[in-house]
Copies of this chain bind each other. A is one copy, B any other.
Amino acid sequence: MPQRDPLREQIIAQYDAMSPQLQQAARYVLEHPDEVALVSMRELARHAAVQPATMTRLAKFLGKQGYDDIREHYVAALRRGSDGFAAKVRQRNEGARASADGNIAAHMLHGLSAQISRLCEPDSLQRLEAIANTLKSVRKVYVLGLRSCHSVAWHFHYVMSLLGDRSVHLDGPAGTGGDALIRATPEDALLVVSVKPYAVATLELTQLAKDKGLTILSITDSEVSPLVGLSDQTIFCPTESDSFFHTLTPALAISEVLCTLLAEDDRPQALDALQRADEHFLSLNTYSSAIPRRE
C-alpha cells in the first residue's frame, strides 16, 4: 500500500537535523499530506501551530525552491491516488483480503471502532454530559479503578492532574488505596470504573464513599452491574471483544471524553493549567526536546 514517496522519506531522513519549529511543521506535513494539497500554506501553518514563514523555511531546508514545490508534490500524489481508480480498487482488495483471511486483528479493530461509534447514541451522550456536569460542580473527584480498570482510572486521574488538583487517585501500595477517602466530604464525588468481574474491593470502597455522602458516578459495563445500585449516575461501556478478555478501549474513550468536556468547560483555566504544567516539566527535563505548543 505505501507507494514510494521520496519527499516523505526525505523529510523523515532530515527530520533530526531540523530545528524544533521545523520539526513541528514537518511532522504535521507527514501526518496530513492531503492537507498540504488542499489548503493554503497559512491555514496549514495555523493547523500545525506554526508561523507561516516556517513552512517556507521548511521548503528551503529540504532544498526546494519554495513552498509551492512541496505543495506540488502532494498535489501530484493526490491526483495520482484519486483519478486512476485502479489504485483504489487495489487498496480495497488488499483490505478485503486482509480482513477476510480470518484476520483477527482487523476484525477486532472494526469491532472496537463500531463499539465506540455506538457511544454516540443520544442516551450515552446525555449520560456523558450529565456526568461531566456533575464533575464540574464538585469540590474534589476521587477516582477508583482496580485491576483491569486501573488503566482507565489512572489515565483519567493523570489528565485531570494536569488540569488542577481536584483529582485524587484511590490507589497505592500496601492496600492504602482507600485512605485518601478519609478527607472526603459530601461535596466531593467518586468516579468509579469497574467491569465484570467486579472487584470486591471496588464495591466496598464505593459503598464506603456512598456512606460518607459522596456523589457516586460510575463507568461500568451493564445495567445489572452492582455499581448501578450504588451510583447516582452511570454510563455504560461495551466490553465485548473477540478474545477471552474484555476490552477496555471503549471505557478509556469515555474517560477521555469526560476529560475533554471538563477541560472545554473552562478553556482559559485549562490552558493556564497546562501552561504551568509545561513549564514545570520543562524545568525538570521530563520530556525530550520541545514540548508541543498549544494554541
Contact = CB atoms under 8 A, between A and B. Distances in A.
Interface stretch (A56-64, A183-191, A258-266): A258-266
Interface residues of A, number: 105
Nearest to A108: B257
18 contacts: A1-B123, A26-B224, A27-B222, A81-B88, A85-B91, A98-B125, A105-B129, A108-B257, A109-B120, A110-B120, A148-B158, A150-B151, A196-B291, A198-B289, A229-B292, A244-B263, A244-B271, A249-B256
Contacts of A108: 256-257, 260
A159 interface: yes
A38 B75 contact: yes
B148 A120 contact: no
Chain A interface secondary structure, helix, strand, loop or mixed? helix
A160 B288 CA distance: 29
A270 B290 CA distance: 42
Interface in A257-291: 257, 259-261, 263-264, 270-271, 274, 281, 285-291
